[in-house]
């Protein structure tokens, strides 16, 4: 099964993708996570991407494309994946279609997680991420058992540099510019399903799983 999660930053794509990957035994491919890993490891790709990410702007298509091609070439993708953070534009949606077709794959479901701006800002400015395993927490909505420490692996938590209010607003603006056309694109292909993401994460997850299992 090949799934795309669309939604503004903070709509809960990462949280849902991780839970869905576990439940449906799919690999979770997050372009944001792969980019941050490259920045952390100081690769040449990370060095090129970093300034864009810190401003909340999109990293140039060619860079993300190269990175994603390498990910799709790994042996675990044909069995099924959840794509989180890609595509973000119509150009990327077309590129994705080509990349998948070249590997005899196609997307089955596109879920649009719809969240209100107030919820998004509250979620993102309070988000904390594990420096080792990328698990997500929230200072009030989902705090770790010990402040600043990951429940799962014991590593320290950090706040993403792009999770401050100013950059969050810029990221939302970038998202809104592109999303309508992306939604049309997948609606026309009859692959789009909208889910309200202001609800509790467990409710959102159940709705997605129900849709996937009822239409398989």
DSSP 8-state class, residue 156: B
Residue 46 interacting with ligand AMP (CB under 6 A): no
**Shortest distance, CB of residue 110 to ligand AMP, whole angstroms?**
14
Length of the chain: 216
Of residues 9 and 12, the one with the C-beta less far from ligand AMP = 9
Nearest residue (beta carbon) to ligand AMP: 32
**Shortest distance, CB of residue 216 to ligand AMP, whole angstroms?**
27
Of residues 162 and 208, the one with the C-beta less far from ligand AMP = 162
H-assigned helices in the chain: 13-24, 31-40, 44-55, 61-72, 90-101, 117-125, 165-188, 201-214
User: What angle separates helix 61-72 from helix 31-40, to the nearest 10 degrees?
Assistant: 100
Of residues 67 and 208, the one with the C-beta less far from ligand AMP = 67
Residue 7 interacting with ligand AMP (CB under 6 A): no
User: Is residue 127 a contact partner of residue 137, using CB atoms and an 8 Å limit?
Assistant: yes
Sites for ligand AMP among residues 78-137 (CB under 6 A):
85-86, 88, 92
Of residues 53 and 192, the one with the C-beta less far from ligand AMP = 53
Of residues 32 and 46, the one with the C-beta less far from ligand AMP = 32
CA angle (67 as vertex; 181, 137 as ends), nearest 5: 75
**Shortest distance, CB of residue 71 to ligand AMP, whole angstroms?**
12
Residue 59 interacting with ligand AMP (CB under 6 A): yes
Residue 35 interacting with ligand AMP (CB under 6 A): yes
Neighbour-count burial for 71-101, b at 16+ CB within 10 Å, e otherwise: bbeeeebeebbbbbbbbbbeebbebbbebbe
**Closest alpha carbon to 99 in 58, 71, 80, 63:** 71
Residue 12 interacting with ligand AMP (CB under 6 A): no
3-state secondary structure of 17: helix
Among 31, 38, 77, 95, binds ligand AMP (CB under 6 A): 31
Catalytically active residues, by annotation = 13, 88, 127, 160, 171
For ligand AMP, the binding residues (CB under 6 A) are: 9, 31-32, 35, 52-53, 56-59, 64, 85-86, 88, 92, 162, 171
């Amino acid at each position: 099964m090949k799934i795309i999660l669309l939604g503004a930053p903070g709509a809960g794509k990462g949280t849902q993708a991780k839970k869905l990957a576990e439940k449906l035994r799919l690999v979770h491919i997050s372009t944001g996570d792969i980019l941050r890993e490259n920045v952390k490891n100081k690769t040449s790709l990370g060095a090129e991407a970093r300034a864009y990410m810190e401003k909340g702007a999109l990293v140039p298509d060619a860079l993300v494309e190269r990175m994603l091609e390498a990910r799709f070439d790994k042996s675990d993708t044909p069995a099924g994946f959840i794509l989180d953070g890609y595509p973000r534009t119509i150009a990327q949606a077309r590129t994705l279609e080509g990349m998948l077709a070249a590997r005899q794959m196609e997307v089955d479901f596109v879920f649009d997680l719809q969240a209100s701006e107030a919820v998004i800002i509250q979620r993102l400015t309070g988000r904390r991420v594990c420096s080792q395993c990328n698990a997500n927490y929230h200072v009030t909505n989902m705090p770790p058992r010990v402040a600043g420490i990951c429940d799962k692996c014991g590593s320290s938590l950090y706040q993403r540099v792009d999770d401050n209010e100013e950059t969050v607003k810029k990221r939302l603006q970038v998202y809104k510019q592109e999303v309508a056309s992306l939604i049309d694109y997948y609606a026309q292909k009859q692959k789009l399903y909208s889910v309200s993401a202001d609800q509790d994460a467990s409710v959102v997850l159940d709705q997605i799983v129900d849709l996937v299992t009822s239409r398989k």
